[in-house]
A and B are shown apart, each in its own frame.
Chain A
């Protein structure tokens, strides 16, 4: 069955001037729903086109189910493709669009009708069979694109930002319908997206690409909580990065010194880490993991250990709230720490309702941050491109 394997696949355009994919090796299990994620121009779409035969790799091998695809034309690969701009044939009705893949395969009319109707029913478009594309709304066009791809009964489905053109609310409903459909048909699917939340919500696995290379490939939880690089950490969710250096490095813990003579944190390290003593490092906290403790009423001392019931030990730093922004269910805070760093925190609006701009507070950092060696080019790592 269709296990997709890429071995050292590269693709360059304009005689090598533009590198779209750079030595990509990856393996996707049968039945997985995988998300390709990365900034624009990182080679996501090109990768899909290489596998489906719409582009030819400059070098490397692509195997599906153990078979080398290099000699096969796109029409012989049987890989469904849902295009970013849908590419619904404008001169054909919805039904003719969906039937197209069956007609060119030479099925008889009765079978075509049965399968195409079934595909349209699955996307609940059976009522629009005779409409022309220009009469359809964007979500309907998206559904035709999907129905047309699955009607060919291909076992592999590629989706290039299929939800990119829908408005955010419809998008959130659609994505679960999409997952249900793909799973019920037992397809192996790869979806390209810009939307990190979408990828985490419905993907079995996520592949993060950047500048033609694969940065990380894993389960959504792994990527979120154990990002392999500052870039990946920054790409998913929102993260505070604190610079400093480490000392007392042991197998599973160390002391992190915030710069400018700031406070020291005792933090835990994962086994197998590569950190050395007295080197620069960066630690990261998700903004929702930063605790805020009001000091107004209960005059706590900075550095005092807080033994709150179930919470882990917190390292605390004094800070002042610069901005408190109400965004519906959540409230976002921008806080100047006493050592000059700026951090952000996001919490449910119901709690912390009393924290206002200008307040002096204590900021609590737990002992399990993401820990990174100081990169060569910190700006590049922190850019989103």
Chain B
């Protein structure tokens, strides 16, 4: 077993001296050439520049407008010669209403979402996968289709009220229906966030607490919840900002009431740009503050854990209570979220060719679509628009999102990178209508005057909206990938671009596909910002809004189902690719 004294003579391909390294082929030569530092710096600069134009530019332009036209804003908002500060009072009212609705909706979501997240992570049962998909479903339903669906279910005489034989809808459009809509809309975001946190957390801690004699509820409160704290707070804030900024579904269910984002749209439509900019800025500032809070303070908040009330908590942990909790969580999910969100589908089937009440063809889907105003043609034109916009936006996002993800993972830029990392998420939480208006100010006739409202401005807005959806999954997958694999390729003689093509890119593929699908569905369903910048162009979600306004419910229903079907297929694809990776 000791070291050999004589080494065998070398006679092999590996030590032959006559094999000369060949000339590199074109692809390898190009990759080697473009691996130079200067090209990397150029790409970084280009990506950052693009990002500045995409996100920072509109925000700066928004703030600029507010500052430069402050006198105008002051006059029209606070000191109008005729109406005085009525404008400001309205803003106060809509802001107050938006906050109220967001707070209540988030609260309800937390209460019904917590048991669901727990069921999905801590129990094993048949149909768990199906339930998991159902929980995500409202996320795949485009917002205006979701709003329409909830309106049908709660607000019209064709929904739940029929069950009780009522002539009128259960809820008339207004704040309560908006709240219901927002509950359904934000539910998947809350549950998803909580699920991830519970999944990552080892069940062993809970087991340890149980062996020490803590009843289930106490375990949750003293062990699980404190560890899940950040996720709970993050999910709450995300849901809150989502609800605060929701426009597409809200427009449909709001009736004569207005929320803050809707008021931005109204102000813009009445060409009161300074006031619209002012309100947009307030909304975006609130979201930014929430984002900052999320990033900086969520770690520091404590949970009250020290005091234990054994009797009460033991009672809360008994089997009947547990079963009741799980059942209520499940039932509420089905009644408040699932059925209302999906209600358009049975509605369209029922009203497809024949009016179920009268047996005539009045108000049916077919009649409405093929009416003389040519809805059928409009539907396909706008479907084409939606597909083209979603495709092009996703393409642009990918083009810049890839290098951006690389920058955010690989470059060592310290604080500057942290800022960039935070700014990526702005479109995730900023109210869409406000962001859309900011982009309109920046790119439109009052800013750079590059894009008029219409196709290309919609694309710019959608690129900004979808950017985080592309970048985040790619970042996640790069962070999971072992960087030493790339080092290995480099030591074997591959230039950095060759390494990227042969090693990094294949690894990133599932993340890229997931991001593209997310971005595509987001763009397909985007309503709030699109309304602001659409001009005369119509996408399918806008068509739904139009048709609800003109009371063409059957046609709106059909468009919704079309959109839902499309999004659902894409969501299934997403799950498939996730499972494969």
Contacts and interface: CB of A to CB of B under 8 A. Distances in A.
Contacts of A79: 491
Contacts of B24: 105-106
19 contacts: A49-B487, A80-B492, A85-B484, A87-B485, A87-B487, A87-B488, A89-B488, A89-B503, A100-B489, A104-B492, A104-B493, A105-B493, A118-B14, A149-B491, A152-B492, A153-B19, A172-B1, A184-B7, A186-B15
Q: Secondary structure at chain B's binding surface: helix, strand, loop or mixed?
A: loop
3 nearest CB pairs, A to B:
A101-B492, A81-B491, A183-B7
Given A100-B502, A152-B492, A183-B7, 7 more contacts: A75-B490, A104-B494, A106-B22, A118-B14, A119-B14, A149-B491, A179-B4
Contacts of A180: 4, 7-8
Interface stretch (A107-115, A228-236, A307-315, A341-349): A107-115
Contacts of A74: 487, 490-491
B490 A53 contact: yes
A46 to B, nearest CB: 13
A148 interface: yes
A183 B14 CA distance: 13
B12 A118 contact: yes
B487 A81 contact: yes
A80 B14 contact: no
Contact of A83 (B14, B19, B484, B496): B484
A202 B487 contact: no
Interface string A69-94: 00001110111110101010101000
Interface string B452-490: 000000000000000000000000000000101101111
A105 B21 contact: yes
A184 B1 contact: no
A83 B487 contact: yes
Interface string B493-504: 111101000110
A118 B16 CA distance: 12
A243 B8 CA distance: 49
Contacts of B487: 49, 54, 74, 81, 83, 87
Interface in B187-222: none
Contacts of B81: none
A92 to B, nearest CB: 9
B29 to A, nearest CB: 8
B418 interface: no
Contacts of A149: 491-492
Given A106-B25, A184-B10, A179 B3 contact: yes
A300 interface: no
Nearest to A148: B492
Interface string B25-56: 10010000001000000000000000000000
B13 interface: yes
Q: Secondary structure at chain A's binding surface: helix, strand, loop or mixed?
A: helix
A153 B482 CA distance: 25
Contacts of B4: 176, 179-180
Contact of A54 (B22, B25, B490): B490
A316 interface: no
B488 A185 contact: no
A104 B482 contact: no
Nearest to A108: B22
Given A118-B14, A180-B8, A104 B1 contact: no
Interface residues of A, number: 47
Contacts of B15: 153, 185-186
B359 interface: no
Q: Which of B3, B28, B506, B507 has the most CB of A within 10 A?
A: B3
A7 interface: no
A153 B492 contact: no
Contacts of B9: 184
A255 interface: no
A176 B2 CA distance: 7
A122 B14 contact: yes
Nearest to B498: A104
Q: Which of A89, A148, A185, A201 has the most CB of B within 10 A?
A: A89
B485 A104 contact: no
A83 B482 CA distance: 12
A334 B68 CA distance: 86
Contacts of B482: 85, 87
Contacts of B1: 172-173, 176
A362 interface: no
A311 B482 CA distance: 57
A177 to B, nearest CB: 10
Contacts of A53: 490
Nearest to A79: B491
Contacts of A87: 482, 484-485, 487-488
A161 to B, nearest CB: 13
B488 A83 contact: yes
Contacts of B503: 89
Nearest to B36: A73
A150 B493 CA distance: 12
B23 interface: yes
A151 interface: yes
A172 B3 CA distance: 11
A89 B14 contact: no
B490 A73 contact: yes
Contacts of B7: 180, 183-184
B14 A100 contact: no
A111 B13 CA distance: 9
Q: Which of B13, B14, B489, B506 has the most CB of A within 10 A?
A: B14
Contact of B485 (A89, A108, A151): A89
A299 to B, nearest CB: 42
A52 interface: yes
A173 B2 CA distance: 9
Contacts of B488: 81, 83, 87, 89, 148
Contacts of B496: 73, 75
Interface in A151-203: 151-153, 172-173, 176, 179-180, 183-186, 201-202
Given A80-B491, A87-B485, A148-B492, A104 B14 contact: no
Interface string A125-161: 0000000000000000000000011111100000000
B3 A153 contact: no
B492 A100 contact: yes
B22 A75 contact: no
Interface in A197-252: 201-202
B501 to A, nearest CB: 10
Contacts of B498: 75, 104
Nearest to A151: B14
A49 B498 CA distance: 20
A369 to B, nearest CB: 27
Given A87-B482, A184-B9, A106 B492 contact: no
A276 to B, nearest CB: 41
Interface in B47-105: none
Q: Which of B484, B488, B490 has the most CB of A within 10 A?
A: B488
A20 B569 CA distance: 52
A31 to B, nearest CB: 11
Contacts of A114: 13
Contacts of A54: 487, 490-491
Nearest to B506: A91
A22 B506 CA distance: 38
Q: Which of B9, B25, B491 has the most CB of A within 10 A?
A: B491
B429 to A, nearest CB: 31
A368 B137 CA distance: 81
